Amino acid sequence: MNKQGLLPLLLLASAGFITLLPASVAADMTLQMCINCHGQDGRGGDAITPIIAGLTEVVHEDALYAYMDGDRTCALVPIMCKMAQKLSEDQVVSLAAHFAALPFAPANEEFDTTLADQGKAINERDCAICHGGDEPGDPESGILHGQRKGYLRLALQQYAAGERKQLPAMQKKTTALSADDIEALVNFYASFRN
Ligand code: HEC
Ligand code: HEC
């Protein structure tokens, strides 16, 4: 069956309408939905779908619960939030473990070197203490280095506008960022290669 044929079935399964299937089959179908957008390797495909390969289990689980609770909105791809809302706690745990076990590799997207240099300085001043400088910092702070630019830009715009739940210590820094600062940071993180 091609992807288009499978999609309605997967939507039904994830919505819990197909209850006669064994739990393991339903779980595989849910994972397949995630993979449709985030990729088999967890590295996504388009600009706004984040790389989730290697994302630590805690950050992954917190993200899914935040989508469930409305602390995070899926402004551009509402299906992401709709899917999260259907997950059981067991599914959250096993999906987070599945993607945490996949190796991270940076998106290797193009970047502007002048902007990246400006972003490096802003990162050093405001973010490095938690997120690291030239190398990623605490893994429990999510993936910034090598993350997809489109997703990071959107995330930072939401943080700056106070539209996405964040740590108070981070909020102080992000709400002070201008649109130019955000663009510089996005280019700095995009410059990461490993
Ligand atoms: C229709 C495409 C789509 C599907 C299906 C999808 N995602 Fe996503 N995912 C996205 C997009 C787009 C974002 C960014 C959303 C935002 O925050 O605005 C995202 C964000 C995430 C994040 C946050 C990453 C971070 O660094 O904070 C996690 C975790 C995640 N998805 C896991 C999953 C899992 C697990 C599944 C399957 C249950 C899934 N996604 C299904 C598109 C999708
Ligand atoms: C006090 C520590 C701290 C500081 C300072 C901080 N952050 Fe964070 N940040 C975190 C933690 C912890 C997370 C993961 C938990 C969460 O999503 O709230 C995070 C998450 C993020 C995310 C989401 C990652 C993802 O996977 O979606 C982005 C983007 C981000 N921070 C950018 C920044 C930027 C840019 C700065 C500087 C202007 C900054 N942060 C300063 C601790 C910090």
Quick count: other Cβ atoms within 10 Å of Cβ 96? 21
Query: Residue 13 belongs to what domain range?
Result: 3-38+55-100
The mean pLDDT of the chain is: 91
Note whether 124 and 94 are same-domain residues.
no
Residue whose C-alpha is closest to residue 104's, from 134, 147, 71: 147
Helix, coil or strand: residue 18: coil
pLDDT given at position 24: 78
- Binding-site residues, ligand 1, Cβ < 6 A: 30, 33-34, 36-38, 48-50, 52, 55, 60, 63-64, 72, 74-77, 79-80, 83, 95, 142-143, 151, 154
Note whether 96 and 128 are same-domain residues.
no
pLDDT score of 2 more than 90? no
Query: Which listed ligand is nearest to 48 at the C-alpha?
Result: 1
pLDDT score of 8 more than 80? no
Answer with the residue of higher pLDDT: 7 or 136.
136
Q: Does residue 45 lie in a domain region?
A: no
Note whether 136 and 62 are same-domain residues.
no
Contact of 126 with 119, CB cutoff 8 Å:
no
Rounded mean pLDDT, 184-190: 98
Answer with the residue of higher pLDDT: 12 or 50.
50
The residue contributing the CA closest to ligand 1 atom 2 is: 37
Contact of 115 with 188, CB cutoff 8 Å:
yes
Q: Which residues, 6+ apart, have CB-to-CB distance to 167 below 8 Å?
A: none
What is the per-residue pLDDT across 50-79, written as a single tens digit (0 to 9) for each?
999 999 999 999 999 999 999 999 989 999
Note whether 7 and 95 are same-domain residues.
yes
Note whether 67 and 26 are same-domain residues.
yes
Question: Comparing 12-21, 45-54, 148-157, which segment has the lowest mean pLDDT?
Answer: 12-21
The structure tokens 């990623």 sit at 136
- CA–CA gap between residue 107 and residue 44 (Å, rounded): 9
